[in-house]
Structure 1
């Protein structure tokens, strides 16, 4: 009930323009995250996503209404971590591995995180530039612009750091598995891959648990720190 109340309170304080901005930020952030995986895989010789036109910037080819908009918007409005997804971009990891070995596999796993960090950095720089240029005013358009950039900044820090956690289904977990396999811990990697089939259930339990605020406190601390730099 507290989760629903938090969302209801936030929605009542938002206008239509802010809701549209939130949806746009989610699409750019989550869809771009998935495309990044496919693009890096393509650089390592896997043309699967490209052949299926899944490297297209057209969001309609990637959006999962529930996972790209509804779930992450609800979690963002509730003030928690953002769990969201687009339609998975197909990647043939064996092809990537054949061409790039472990470096290629790790690069593909971390590509979405790198994209979100780059987007967060771009939003941060844009905010600083607008403030120091003195081009902002008290007009509604100026406030909408700065609020949109802040939303993009916070959302992409959330997505990047959340996905970096070594939890099943997340990019950090996949990257860790490749690193361990590279280091010779093949048996541990195999167990991690087996555990990943239950990853979504494990992830939901952790996110909804009363310990989630402590587990993900580094994310909130980072957002507060970055916001304080502006």
Structure 2
């Protein structure tokens, strides 16, 4: 049976989580001297500027249907490391800005839950709208942001966590590394979706439960995962 309230909460959570994730990348690059994202109109909060048909729509819906943690991606914000004063350091800062934005949003959801905890215990939870907001939307919003954060922190190209390689790889090999990143995505998506389906084992789901799930439970006054 389709859980309409959950789908609504997931969509309302997923879109801002992705948009602010990408805007954070672009804004960090802009503050570090790279105007590429701003010139491309990617510092906008308009979701239409960031939507990728597969990553923003098809993949999350597929994961929802399969009962897996919901994550996905938007169109990557373009940036040019040549503008950076310290490309190796600044590449890491830009890479971590997106996950950091997701962590802040999850923490805000947890803070709201704590602020409303006593009113909920005092009977406000009996209000149907409040109950959906408090027990479904806030946990969903936090978990989706945490799923996106920890998923993107995996040190696998082209995810944000792979930016750590910019510090480890000798400078002369960085251009080659950026080329590899462009072609790594199809292989990565096969690993994320196809391999778990074929072998009936999803290491990504296990990893996200261990990381995002446990952190989400710490942020809230009640268990959310």
TM range (shorter): 0.7 to 0.9
- After superposition, the CA RMSD in angstroms is 2.4
Partner of 1:112: 98
Deviant stretches of 4+, over 6 Å: none
Q: Deviations over 1:116-152 (max 9, x none)?
A: 1111111111112211343732222112212111101
User: For residues 87 and 37 of structure 2, what CA distance do their matches in structure 1 show?
Assistant: 19
In the alignment, structure 1 residue 132 sits paired with structure 2 residue 118? yes
Structure 1 unaligned blocks of 5 or more: 1-11
Question: Aligned match of 1:172 in 155, 161, 185?
Answer: 161
Q: How many aligned positions are there? A: 212
Structure 2 unaligned blocks of 5 or more: none
Question: Aligned match of 2:107 in 121, 127, 130?
Answer: 121
Question: Aligned match of 1:152 in 127, 135, 141?
Answer: 141
TM-score normalised by length of structure 1: 0.80
Partner of 2:77: 89
Higher relative contact order (CA 8 A, sep 6+): 2
User: For residues 186 and 79 of structure 1, what CA distance do their matches in structure 2 show?
Assistant: 44
TM-score normalised by length of structure 2: 0.82
Tell me the SS of whatever aligns to 2:117: helix
- Residue 197 of structure 1 deviates from its aligned partner by 3.9
User: For residues 77 and 172 of structure 1, what CA distance do their matches in structure 2 show?
Assistant: 27
